Structure 1
Amino acid sequence: MLILTNLGYSGKIITQIRSRMDIVQNKIPKKIAIIHDAFIVKGGAERLALHLSNLFPEAPIYTSVYQPKTTFSELKTKQIITHPFSRWVKSEKLFKQLYPLWFLYYFNVKLTEYELILSSSTYLAKYIQTPKNGQHICYMHSPFRFLWKRNSYTNNSLPFNSPIIQIIDRIIPSLQKIDFKLTQPIDQVITNSQNMANFIQTVYHKNAVIIYPPVDIQQYNIQNPQNFYLCVGRLISYKNIDLAIQACNQLKRKLVIIGDGFERNKLEAIAGNTITFLGKVDEETLKSMYATCKALIFPGVEDFGMVPIEVQASGRPVIAYRSGGVLETVTENETGIFFDDQNIDSLIQAIISFENRRFDPSFIRNSVQRFDLSIFEESIKTSLQKYF
């Protein structure tokens, strides 16, 4: 509640929120189930599903595949129910090759004993069948990106060979119709930004409540920056990490890249001697890199994007392409710099502009307090109040 006060909320509004929270906490449904696409990476969607589980710790989590070694360690204490074939999936590539299997799983799994289904979905979990007398609330991170933003993926970023990709491309219109139809029964959609709410309305003709994904601000700290730029994310085409590499090649600037993916070999091939690939790192290393980089370079278009918020929670600015979720999380010339064209020259000019400016780490950190975990928890419970 202190954060709400600091953000300018009146005592009356805070009292109303506290009252609604008390109502929610005293009227938990008998049976809640949480559904998430898969736990095979440490991504923003996976972290949000974990937060939902922390809010409703008695609820089991249903998912297609769970790989304890490659996702968040906190999940080891949860009751997670997976597809029987889950144990045989050892890589993200194999998981994606088996999409039809996971589709059948979500479409056919029976959850008749539950009154409230909370799904966290980017692609398949939203297809879960709602119990006859139950409700389905979906936190939709994005419409199924491959179906609705196919052009954002190069063939190198897909886990299939060219003949299979050609077949899939031919049936995408049919797959879009199936996706649209199976999304309609959802009782309430929640999403991460106005950017995504607009996209969901365009694709599914459904209104979405906006609740920003959380960052536990207290877990990040300000340190003295060092002489390197940072990129963080999966190494796939729509992240456009190649732009950051080529810009830093030309400027002879140090760039550290954290993450792995299908395009790593291609990116390493174009990287000069000022570029370092760290692959996947642990949480403490990631937080240290956030706090000590000169700035995050964010050249892709993300539906929302947790990494820019986490970097700003560490007091560091963001150099981002002017599109997508960063328009709601980065304040131009105060917490970061935007570049207008998704090409090398535009990014180079943004880096040069950044280096001629000063940024206040404390101001940057304070700017993302509105994404704090405590506000997310209150917003979720308030939004679900009518179902209790």
Structure 2
Amino acid sequence: MADLWPEARIYTSLYDPEGTEGHFAHRSVRTSYLQRLGVGQRGFRRLLPLFPAAIERLPVAGHDVLVSSSSAFAHGVRPAPGAVHVCYCYSPFRYVWHEREATLAGFPRVWRPAAAITFDAIRRWDIGASERVTRYLCCGEIARERIHEFYGREASVVHPPVEVERFDAPPAPEDHFLVVCELVAHKRVDLALEAARRSGKRVQVVGTGPEAERLAVRYAGVAEFLGRVDDAELARLYSRALALVVPNIEEFGIAAVEAQAAGRPVLAVDGGGARETVRVGETGVLVSRTVDALGEAMSEIDFTRFEPAEARANAANFSRARFQERLAAQVRETVRMR
């Protein structure tokens, strides 16, 4: 996104040069006062009550056009009167909206009432912030529906960019499936692994997270846990898998597009982003979110029959270049209509 406007100043609440792999090293980056607190990626959640004020105080009022990238607070910047603000929203802030109860359950019981009050205050601020946005764009249909439900605003879908060009290894499928995601409870990796156990299949798992140890113990005879891998190794793993398994309903699901870019089909739960990125019967299969449905697909479907060229052609629709074209067109249209 930022590469579309290489001369534009970047404003952000917190900035980690290493965490962004030096991508913005030659850009002008302005941070909020929270940067001075020295909080890293793992500690930022402790500062949640401070983010609304920090975002509102970013000095963006000197610009006529703002483009924000938001999954929580960034849409709350305060543009100058008459300025255009286009927000690319991955999701309204999940902690205080659609995952509020699950998030509260993760707090010690004694802290939950205070956390609930904080979340309610952030919700009220969030609704007010949404009224300052000129136009919302979003990553998929689930995000579009949530923006309408929570903010009462319409949004246009612009699917996020995927670096499809780097998955060019020749497809050479072996006799196993692949899972690529963070190993957290809501990703439902256990569904994929239990389905594989019942169907007598093997799975390679790429990713780390708090569920890693538990899953590794329970499914030691079914899955090989590879942790994080580099880009070249990930491309090789995609090309060698019978199919990528996506056991959770994703808002978009970049891994599903990456697998297709590598010429391999997708076995996904029927819902969310998979309905937008997988062509059923041509580049993959969608099933209900049950162990039985996933297991039956693993054992009964011949995933080698899917044409790699079809999968790659479909993945090209989600390339970085396509994203930039669509985003730039939406921003131009919004400025013109203002």
What TM-score do the two structures reach when normalised by structure 1? 0.78
Q: Is the contact between residue 107 and residue 127 of structure 1 (CA under 8 Å) also seen in structure 2? A: yes
- Structure 2: how far apart are the matches of 1:288 and 1:323? 27
Counterpart amino acid of residue 90 in structure 1: G
Counterpart amino acid of residue 88 in structure 1: G
Q: Does 1:114 align with 2:76?
A: no
Q: Is the contact between residue 302 and residue 324 of structure 1 (CA under 8 Å) also seen in structure 2? A: yes
Q: Is the contact between residue 193 and residue 212 of structure 1 (CA under 8 Å) also seen in structure 2? A: yes
Q: Comparing 224-233 with 290-299, which one deviates more in the overlay? A: 224-233
Identity of aligned residues (%): 27
Partner deviation per Cα, 1:189-241 (whole Å, 9 max, x = no partner): 11122332223212211111222212243222143123332212222222111
Q: Does 1:150 align with 2:116?
A: no
Q: Is the contact between residue 312 and residue 368 of structure 1 (CA under 8 Å) also seen in structure 2? A: yes
| 2:40 paired residue number | 90
Counterpart amino acid of residue 86 in structure 2: I
- Structure 2: how far apart are the matches of 1:180 and 1:88? 29
Q: Does 1:214 align with 2:144?
A: no
Q: Does 1:324 align with 2:324?
A: no
The correspondence of residues 1-388 of structure 1 with structure 2, limited to 5 A, is 52-86=1-35, 88-92=38-42, 94-150=43-99, 153=102, 160-165=107-112, 167-169=114-116, 172-221=119-168, 222-340=170-288, 342-355=289-302, 358-386=305-333, 387=335
Q: Comparing 213-222 with 233-242, which one deviates more in the overlay? A: 213-222
Q: Is the contact between residue 238 and residue 301 of structure 1 (CA under 8 Å) also seen in structure 2? A: no
Distance 1:208 1:230, change over 3 A: same
- Structure 1: how far apart are the matches of 2:249 and 2:15? 27
Counterpart amino acid of residue 234 in structure 1: E
Q: CA deviation at 1:302?
A: 1.2
Gaps of 5+ in 1: 1-51
Distance 1:161 1:276, change over 3 A: farther
Q: Is the contact between residue 152 and residue 238 of structure 1 (CA under 8 Å) also seen in structure 2? A: no
Q: CA deviation at 1:185?
A: 1.2
- Structure 2: how far apart are the matches of 1:247 and 1:178? 43
Q: Is the contact between residue 152 and residue 237 of structure 1 (CA under 8 Å) also seen in structure 2? A: no
What TM-score do the two structures reach when normalised by structure 2? 0.88
Counterpart amino acid of residue 92 in structure 2: P
Q: CA deviation at 1:180?
A: 1.7
- Structure 2: how far apart are the matches of 1:170 and 1:112? 31
Q: Is the contact between residue 121 and residue 138 of structure 1 (CA under 8 Å) also seen in structure 2? A: yes
Q: CA deviation at 1:297?
A: 0.8
- State the SS of the aligned residue for 1:209: strand
Partner deviation per Cα, 1:84-136 (whole Å, 9 max, x = no partner): 554733343x1223222333311222212222111101111111111234221
Question: How many pairs align?
Answer: 333
Distance 1:257 1:366, change over 3 A: same
Gaps of 5+ in 2: none
Q: CA deviation at 1:308?
A: 0.7
- Structure 1: how far apart are the matches of 2:292 and 2:249? 17
Q: CA RMSD in A?
A: 2.5
Q: CA deviation at 1:310?
A: 1.3
